[in-house]
Amino acid sequence: MSKSALSIGIIIGNRDFFPDSLVEKARTEIIEVFAKLRIKPILLDTTDTKLGGVETFKDSQKCADLFKKHRNEVAGILVLLPNFGDERGVADTLKLAGLNVPVLIQAYPDELSKMNVINRRDSWCGKISVCNNLYQYGIKYTLTSKHVSSPTEEIFQNDLKDFVAVCRVAKGLRNVRIGAVGARPGAFNTVRYSEKILQRNGITVTTIDLSEILGNANKLTKDDASVKQHLEKINAYASKGKTPDEAMIQIAKLDVVLNNYVEEYALDATAIQCWTSLQQNFGCNVCTSMSIMSENMLPSACEVDVTGTLTMYAMQLASGSPSALVDWNNNYAEDPNKCVLFHCGNWAKSFLPDIEISNAPILGTTVGVENTYGALDGRTPAMPLTYGRISTDDPKGIIKAYIGEGELTNDPLATFGNRAVAQIGNLQGLMNYVCRNGFEHHVVMNASKTGSILEEALGNYMGWDIYNHKL
């Protein structure tokens, strides 16, 4: 889903007293832009309506029928205004289609030397009228960076690419299936969530007891073909370091069962109990399997942090790259705008160029280090950063989130586990917001700059309470 191509419906608005040539040219231009960006267009043919535009109610019916025919494909709709357009035609099309997908409103600029009757567009004004009608109809929509811009301009094409990402997020979150493996660790009230609030937003949680996972894993032996196959996969994924062969077998058996569970229930993401049942009852960490799943765009979060893995999935949809669940863990020396991000070791390989299978020293102090192999060790180098957190606010009965952008740096950091240094503007203000609004100590990072995409998708289209941390 996060990397697949999407289909976008196109409505070309028209008014009969504006030149037909403007509509003809707009249709040709947008088809060329879609081909360049590898987006599949769904739009009327020039034989379906006048020039393939939408002006009358009958035009709206035809365009809506086309969109409904492709209901399972259309992830969003672009409204193209080469001239003033017909405000009712656009609104009626969207209402009749009833797709409930993101809508991007574009309007062409006029040329100062072509303000005569033959070439005049008035799209600047028409866009306002279209938006006014959509507001009246209760239809949500997205605006371009500039009020008017041509499809051939880079700024519009960047807007279009961002819009496609918004469509991915909205479509993905309304159909996501998350597997919750095991019970929430008793000491982690912070990862409580409302399954009912999530379901109201189209997010399904499928639960399974950890004993079922461990029971099925214990039935496997090192000689089973599936275990051998997964052991080869793990060895190809990361260096085993000093991890004993016996622990590698345990990790592989667990990997087999978890992958079977994901496939059986058609899951998009998982949240897995770890601390401390796995170590005490199975003798290894599940971090390596979680890392492999996250790298393969099936995000996995520890400590049964369901809304944490939901955040990972949302960011993955926005960027097309893996996400990682991290702790807001430590200050970085005396710098008020830097901090240490940390976890035992389940980050996707994309964040860990020096990845190695290791153990978890902190957890090992209570369960024995020998029972914690399977954690990963590695340092994340400098890269772009989008961070954020989705959470259910049960007293208010809502889903809320905060998001923001920053940088991961190469500042020195002598410690173990999965680790990174983040630099974020007004970090102290952000931490104040996190604490005052009851967010979790877990946050998600993604190597991208997708804060505005997430704000638009989660806030405008999902209808969640969003805070975008900006200077």
Please name each of the domains of the chain with its CATH number. 7-174 (3.40.50.10940), 177-469 (3.20.14)
Beta bridge partners of 422: 339, 408
Token reading at 340: 């240490």
Phi and psi at 231, nearest 5°, equal -65, -40
pLDDT, position 125: 93
For residues 312 and 307, what is the distance between their CA atoms, to the nearest angstrom?
Answer: 9
Digits of tens for pLDDT over the chain (471 positions)?
444 578 999 999 998 777 778 898 999 999 999 999 999 999 999 999 999 999 999 999 999 999 999 999 999 999 999 988 888 999 999 999 999 999 999 999 998 888 787 777 889 999 999 999 999 999 999 999 999 999 999 999 999 999 999 999 999 999 999 999 999 988 889 999 999 999 999 999 999 999 999 999 999 999 999 999 999 999 999 999 999 999 999 999 999 999 999 999 999 999 999 889 999 999 999 999 999 999 999 999 999 999 999 999 999 999 999 999 999 999 999 999 999 999 989 999 999 999 999 999 999 999 999 999 999 999 999 999 999 999 999 999 999 999 999 999 999 999 999 999 999 999 999 999 999 999 999 999 999 999 999 999 999 999 999 999 997
**Cα R_g (the chain), whole angstroms:** 25
Contacts of residue 440, Cβ cutoff 8 Å, sequence gap at least 6: 190, 191, 305, 307, 308, 389, 391
Which DSSP letter does residue 460 get? I
Q: Position 70: which residue type? A: H
Which DSSP letter does residue 211 get? H
pLDDT, position 1: 47
85: helix, coil or strand? coil
Phi and psi at 342, nearest 5°, equal -150, 150
For residues 71 and 162, what is the distance between their CA atoms, to the nearest angstrom?
Answer: 21
pLDDT, position 4: 58
For residues 127 and 313, what is the distance between their CA atoms, to the nearest angstrom?
Answer: 34
Which DSSP letter does residue 458 get? I
Q: Say what the pTM is.
A: 0.96
pLDDT, position 3: 47
